[in-house]
Amino acid sequence: MVHHHRATLLPHHHHDEEKQQAEEEGDGKTMKELRGRLADYACHHRKHGHDALLLMLAGFAFVSLLLLLLPNSPFSAAMDDLLQLGRTPRRCDQEMAPTPPAPCAGVPNGTICCDRSSPRADLCVMRGDVRTHAASNTLFLLAAAAPADERIRPYTRKWESSVMSTIDELRLRALPDPEGAARCDVRHDVPAVVFSTGGYTGNVYHEFNDGIIPLYITARRYNRKVVFVMLEYHDWWMTKYGHIVEQLSDFPPVDFSNDTRTHCFPEAVVGLRIHDELAIDASRMPGNQGIRDFRHMLDDAHRGRINAIIEEENAAPQAAPAAAALAKKHVTEALADDDKPRLVIVSRNGSRAIENEPELARAAGRAGFRVTVLRPRPDTELAQMYRVLNGSDVMVGVHGAAMTHFLFMRPGSVFIQVVPLGTDWAAENYYGEPARRLGLRYVPYKILPSESSLFRRYARDDPVLTDPVAVNAKGWQVTKKVYLDGQNVRLDMARFRRRLREAYGHWAAQRRRQQSQPL
């Protein structure tokens, strides 16, 4: 379950429909972002003198006029794409600042260093003769420079005491005297990265945010020459994410609790580094690797399995004549639809479902899309999800853990997130901003109270409808009960069609640019 732990920090804003529609136009925000992008340009090119500045200002005036007079032109769409490339203005002196080394990066041999400065996760580094002892949940560092005794729960939600109490605690002991130490049953020539696959495992958002992406951040610097040592090991987790694990390590993982052998390593990193929600700070990564590099890794991880699925489908027994004729008809229709953009609706069951989903699918079809409704189950193979979303142009879904699958979309695609009442902050911070960082065109659709099933249960002046921020301030359990578990949506298709037109226009503008490029 995604925890909206910062929602109470929001200031109170009451939006009626008129104000919300004004927000949707976003003219002021667009111009502000454009000014920021042009300011970045000035930083990069200030060495060319005042002539460049004058040209930049003239360009700004010209672009402003175009944006005001031609908001639906291809040029305007191109400018919108440009604005998606950078969201945070930076000063010139900040861009050139050197990146400080990570804490515990230069650990001397024979010592333990623990970095507990992050509010999200602790991380310890042991360098020297490191040995596992599963029976006592201990990692020993033998022949240490000085005695030391540290304890750590290697999971990336340090601030949540309730879930951290469920994570196995490891003891890290540095012993100057190696006498009596267990002999090595398995000696490894590469470091270990030790982490837990417990906690909120089972929720796809937490599996990526708390586990997979931090594992990438922590292990990538080893270029696959690393062994993963897992606490609370789950066979199903390896079945689901084994293809990704193989991209990060050339060695089979170690099930710490159930493998009673003594494993010896020249170094152990205990815990994972985490940067932000579904995000990677490239300035803190070797080679400036960012979230797009992570996505390239996902491509590599799933390519083999997807090709195998396609081969299995092609090798299926020949259909009966009647079925073959029907299949031929479908192929003909598919070819006719080949020029249409592909839109995937990620369907939900239970809470936050789209009550008029069939109407949404029909509206998307009439808007020019080839529509697929994706209904993932707990046993749906990840490669199947990746195949569908990687091949789509637009993803539509209601805020929730399944929106994590925007990571499977190609940069340049469109992600439309339906934002139910009371979820504005979480929708933006957990999925909206991370999607922009990946290079997606993020299009939020904030529902009106009349589009929420809560509208039928509460009086129109009830704070649940008029002041979700105040309701969220009562605590996570209230937010979960009222807005997450107790709410469905019925889309106002007259409003939502504007989002469909925006998505189609973005796809069409991209396609024109691609077709205009020389071969």
**Coarse DSSP helix, strand, coil percentages of the chain, rounded to the nearest 5 percent:** 45, 15, 35
Q: What is the pLDDT of residue 46?
A: 40
pLDDT value for 515: 87
Task: Provide the percentage of residues in the chain whose pLDDT is more than 70.
Answer: 76
Residue 105: its pLDDT value, please?
Answer: 80
Mean pLDDT, residues 31-57 taken together: 46
Closest CA to 442 of 386, 395, 385, 510: 395
Residue 322 pLDDT class (50, 70, 90 cuts): low
Average pLDDT for 379-394: 94
Judge contact between 168 and 153, C-beta under 8 A: yes
Contact 217, 297 (CB under 8 A): no
Instruction: Over range 18-29, report the average pLDDT.
Output: 49
Q: Which residues contact 370 (CB under 8 A, 6 or more apart)?
A: 337, 340, 341, 342, 343
Please report the pLDDT score of residue 2 as a whole number: 57
pLDDT band at 396 (very low <50, low <70, confident <90, very high): very high
pLDDT of residue 35: 45
More confident residue, 354 or 49: 354
- Contact (Cβ atoms closer than 8 angstroms) between residue 159 and residue 118: no
132-148: pLDDT as tens digits: 999 999 999 999 999 99
Q: What pLDDT score does 32 carry?
A: 45
Task: Check: CB of residue 189 under 8 Å from CB of residue 211.
Answer: no
Task: Check residue 59 and give its pLDDT.
Answer: 57
Q: Residues of the chain with pLDDT > 90: what percent? A: 68
The mean pLDDT of 213-219, rounded to a whole number, is 98
Q: Indicate if the pLDDT at residue 265 is higher than 80.
A: yes
- Find all residues with CB under 8 Å of 67, minimum gap 6, and list them: 27, 30, 31, 34, 76, 79
pLDDT for residue 50 is more than 60: no
The mean pLDDT value for 397-426 works out to 97
Q: How confident is the model at residue 377 (pLDDT cuts 50, 70, 90)?
A: confident
- Determine contact, residues 432/444, Cβ cutoff 8 Å: yes
Closest CA to 173 of 195, 145, 196, 151: 151
Q: How confident is the model at residue 218 (pLDDT cuts 50, 70, 90)?
A: very high
Instruction: Give the pLDDT of residue 66.
Output: 45
Q: Is the pLDDT of residue 508 over 50?
A: yes
When pLDDT is averaged across residues 64-68 and rounded to a whole number, the result is 45
pLDDT at 244 over 50: yes
Least confident span in 177-186, 355-364, 493-502: 177-186
What pTM value is reported for the model? 0.79
Could you tell me the domains of the chain?
Answer: 111-274 (no CATH), 336-515 (3.40.50)
412-467 pLDDT, tens digit each: 999 999 999 999 999 999 999 999 999 999 999 999 999 999 999 999 999 999 99
Does residue 491 carry a pLDDT above 60?
yes
**114-125 pLDDT per residue, tens:** 999 999 999 999
443 forms beta bridges with: 416
- Give Dmax over CA atoms of the chain in angstroms: 81
